[in-house]
Chains A and B, each alone.
Chain A
Amino acid sequence: MAANGEGEGPEARPPPPSMPQPTRTGDFLGKHRLSAAIARLNQEIQFLEKELNELETMETSAEACKEVFLSTEGRSDALLPVTPGPENPTWHRWFQRVRSSHSRRWWTSKGSSDIS
């Protein structure tokens, strides 16, 4: 668990006694952690209740399913056997002969956008 101090400011609590008994310090830490955990749970409850309310008026999945269906139609796709155009000629570069350097190390030049 990340100890993220950004959201939790210091709380105004009296400092523990200078010679703390183990049980009192243990109690203090236990109460602090429990209170923080309860506060988080209460906030979670609020958000869950809000989400439940949201669901009262939310549409069913059919609308989103229709959107998925429509979004795949009409988009050209290089990996489909049947696809709407336009067909980009660079799709074929994977099956064209490529001139490769004979040297072992070969860097692309700065700013170049396409090796072929």
Chain B
Amino acid sequence: MSVAELKERHTAATATVNSLRERLKQRRQLLLDTDVSGYARSQGRSAISFSPTDLVCCRILQGHTGKIYSLDWTPERNRIVSASQDGRLIVWNALTSQKTHAIKLQCPWVMTCAFAPNGLSVACGGLDSVCSIFNLNSHVERDSIPVSRVLTGHKGYVYSCQYVPDQETRLITSSGDQTCVLWDVTTGQRISVFGGEFPSGHTASVLSVSINNSNSNMFVSGSCDATARLWDTRIASRAVRTYHGHQGDVNTVKFFPDGQRFGTGSDDSTCRLYDMRTGHQLQVYSQQHDADDDEVPIVTSIAFSLSGRLLFAGYSSGDCYVWDTLMAEVVLNLGTLQNSHESRISCLSLSSDGSALCTGSWDKNLKIWAFGGHRRVI
């Protein structure tokens, strides 16, 4: 077959793919007979009501000298690791505000960090395209901790990393090379590569991952190709499902507490809730913006409260909207409270017992938010 004939076939196949995708989109639209807020309203629910002093900033963690890019809590509740433009990881005791470790990185351009499930090591990655592991019990040398393992293999920046919850030795990274990788941390080997040249991999940089707490074989990824994809770690050859809807980069993904849904946040300024099994887009969380706004803010990071009733979303404007997940209404904006951040919120995460939210910002600070009002227990 000649090149010309092959090119014709390629054009025809591309047209077929595009037409099928359009038909899928329309068929899906017909199946969306209600969204979460429509259903909640039909059950007579109304939005959560916060008093002005219910959620308060109870700690400010100061010490980084550059923008904060990433943070992660330990499962044991009180420690946080943060990564900053200043080229350091800092490990904090969030309760006492003390720094327990400061790690100067060989490559200062770090984008992501994560705590191991046992709290004894931390991982980070960034523009060096590798994921570095540090053992927190290591002997300190020259005011820092030596790297204990480097995971090499990505051919693009490492944008996010997360340890597999019940496995100390496994970690998933996502990268500018359009793949996610499952690693064995003890050997440094890649166990599986998700995407790349296979069909149904992401077609642009992968910015975030979230591993399902209920079933750690499943994880979702969010990408600059405006989709989220669900993967089964046992089947690297193809994404289980692709979730469309966003009109811009999907910067952040997070599983819903029931493990059957997940949330996303995007450059298109919306958050969305998807049903993992059916692929349905169950809710869009979108705020009206003033017509004379210079810039529509992007969603940088999200987290669900323990019950899933609240969706915390950090924005490039410095706002941190607290969405009522069921009613799709903003019930609080941490960005307008006392002691709010002065700049973009780049990352946020909930403590494992759900009692505190930590936000990280380009203003170089981390802040801890907790419920300090009168709580009614029913």
Chain A interface residues (CB < 8 Å from chain B): 1-4, 6-8, 27, 30-31, 34-35, 37-38, 40-45, 47-49, 51-52, 55, 58-62, 64-69, 71-72, 75-88, 90-91, 93-95, 98, 100-101, 105-108, 110, 113-116
Contacts and interface: CB of A to CB of B under 8 A. Distances in A.
A40 B199 contact: yes
Contacts of A67: 258, 260-261
B24 A60 contact: no
B197 A55 contact: no
Contacts of B309: 72, 77, 80
Contacts of B27: 52, 55
A31 to B, nearest CB: 6
B82 to A, nearest CB: 16
Nearest to B354: A78
Contact of B326 (A40, A43, A69): A69
A68 B308 contact: yes
Given A4-B197, A8-B197, A42-B13, A94 B370 contact: yes
A18 B255 CA distance: 56
Contact of B137 (A41, A85, A95, A110): A110
B226 to A, nearest CB: 17
Interface in B322-370: 325-326, 353-357, 368, 370
B372 A95 contact: yes
The 10 closest A-B pairs by CB, nearest first: A75-B307, A41-B13, A77-B307, A2-B196, A94-B370, A4-B196, A65-B39, A48-B20, A78-B355, A64-B275
B14 interface: yes
A52 B24 contact: yes
Interface centre among B325, B368, B373, B377, by most chain A C-beta atoms within 10 angstroms, is: B377
Given A81-B50, A93-B355, 5 more contacts: A69-B43, A80-B309, A80-B371, A84-B377, A115-B96
A85 B378 contact: yes
B36 A108 contact: no
Given A38-B9, A68-B326, A77-B310, A114 B76 contact: yes
Nearest to B49: A81
A8 B196 CA distance: 12
B97 A65 contact: no
Contact of A55 (B21, B24, B96): B24
Contacts of A68: 36, 39, 256, 258, 261, 273, 282, 308, 325-326
B77 interface: yes
A81 B54 contact: yes
Given A44-B200, A78-B354, A95-B372, A60 B155 contact: no
B308 A58 contact: no
B177 interface: yes
Interface string B207-251: 000000000000000000000000000000110000000000000
Given A55-B28, A77-B354, A81-B371, A108 B93 contact: yes
A38 B10 CA distance: 5
Contacts of A110: 137
Contacts of A106: 93, 96, 98, 100
28 contacts: A1-B177, A3-B197, A34-B6, A42-B13, A59-B278, A60-B32, A60-B33, A61-B32, A65-B36, A66-B39, A69-B36, A69-B326, A71-B257, A71-B308, A78-B353, A80-B307, A81-B50, A81-B371, A83-B375, A88-B353, A95-B370, A100-B96, A100-B98, A101-B98, A105-B100, A106-B96, A107-B101, A116-B95
A115 B93 CA distance: 8
A44 B31 CA distance: 23
Given A1-B178, A115-B93, A58 B17 contact: no
B17 A41 contact: yes
